[in-house]
Structure 1
Amino acid sequence: MGGFQICESDGRSPHTLKANEIEPYLKDHTITVSAEDILDKSKGDFLSKALVLLQVFWFILQVLARITQHLAITELELVTLGYAILNFIVYFCWWNKPFDVHYPIKFNKQPSSKSSKTSLPMPATNSSTASSITPTHEGGDLEDGPYASGTFTDKEKNASFQLACVVATIFRGIHCMGWDFEFPTKLEAWLWRTSSITITSIPICLLLLNQSNNAIQWTLTCVHSQLCHSKPILLVIPLQMVKAILSSLSSTTSVIKLGMTFLLYPLARLVLLVQMFVVLRNPDPGIHTSVDWVTYIPHF
């Protein structure tokens, strides 16, 4: 959402509060906003989200039914299945997140000789208050814009990266289900298999490289600390050599991660995107067979 903005009394541009800056205002009850006030700013509700998930679930159900009945599935449906499952994960994580919020919640900072007292927040919700709100952030430092957020600790960054790698592996692993699909040529079959394995293994490799790089950086810190306190020349020279080797390894892992992220993955993804449309020129006749819904869904 737009976050909270404090308007200075001297007329300066509003400042968006970060997570660590909001806490003092919450403790002294200067900012008192209920969950209902925040959800009221959302353009989406339970019904709209439920309808989207129902459509996605209907597609997933059809694909699973075709698999159960051993009916043919196209590569395009397989890729769409991956995105559909990913869509469920996104909706689960963002279910309570306000949708399409344009305006932040503003409150005025009142001057005081002893302490900085502030008035209660005044939500800006319509165009009639256009003179006192900032609908969008154009230019400038993003961290000081209306959509700024707090900073993350190293532990939170590592946890987020690990979770992203797990989700990416599951999503991309679905492409490997097309290993035994019918392809017009053997070359196209092996292109699909190779690309599927590539995009599935990249998150795992990135996770391992990231952990290795963290270990290297920790070791470098220890070596640097020893160099600062080591007096004998016999210890300094080996430590300098170890530091040079570790620095080289750190640079190598960074280059490998960049190559996987910006070269190998886009190439493999492009092959899959082209393949799932090209193979439709000669599809399996079984894709035209409908699912026997009588066995799976009660109906009238």
Structure 2
Amino acid sequence: MSESMLPHQTLREIEAPGWTRSSRGWPVTCLDAAVNGVGEDFTDPGYWVRQVRSPVRCGDAVRTLAGLGVGGCVEVGPDAVLTPMAEPGLGEGTQVVALHRRDRTSTAALLSGLGEIRPAGTHVDWNALLDGPGTVDLPTYAFQHQPYWLDEVPGASVVGKKAEAFWEAARAGEVSAAAEALRLPAESSLADIVAALAAEAAAVSEPGVPDAAESVVDPAARLRERLAGAPDEEWYDIVLDAVRPEVAAVLALPSTDDLDVHAELLDLGFSSLMAVELRNRLGEITGIEVPPALVYDYPSAQDVAKFLHNVLTS
């Protein structure tokens, strides 16, 4: 009985005269006041006593922020407990970032969070954070004997398909085929050929032209193309190969080889925030609406891949 009364005794002490108000000049919008439509003074100690005793209205506060047109939120607290709840309520396209997470060190969580909000258009005063530009000594580390060479990928062509076909025919000495590739008569002059090649090069440099080389490939479209071009018995393995790097990235594993696809994600250290991150990543690479409770309904990476496989091939 005495232990259960301690919080109430502490709250009564805070309500007692003698506690001062201080806002330190911070520009703060009181969510409780916005939700209730009452201009409460958050510098009043009694306000915080009511916050402890009254029900938590996180959903109402999030909806109020969405109604105010808030485009992003930053959670500053001991753990990322509000971020997973706030993101669905704020709607698609709204960025919610936690600056402290239990699965990362304080410095890593802060810097990665600032790194996330900066590309979205939020100003970050890096000079204030890093005390101006300068050089630092990099720490040494033990060699892990892992290759870090980038995989070879075919480079984007600087010419269009017509020009590629022309040069292929020209190297083979096929005059008629070279002219046909540019849609020119076989007796065309050098000036006609140069003009056709120049027009093809100009078309490649213009966005939206069908023959232009695509610099950005939609990952969802790429996955569906892989599935469409593979036999049915390989579809699950293709989906699992797509899921593995996303799970490993959320867990900050150095390699997908370190991921046990049979282990439950919660046992591997998944938090509610990490579950939201994985859902967003998988939604981006598959193009489907991934349920918020994905890691709870499908506990392992293998189970997640089976679920996505069924949706993608249904």
TM-score band (shorter)? under 0.3
Task: Flag the structure with more relative contact order, 1 or 2, with Cα contacts below 8 A and sequence separation at least 6.
Answer: 1
- After TM superposition, the score normalised by the length of structure 2 is 0.24
More helix by share: 1
- After TM superposition, the score normalised by the length of structure 1 is 0.25
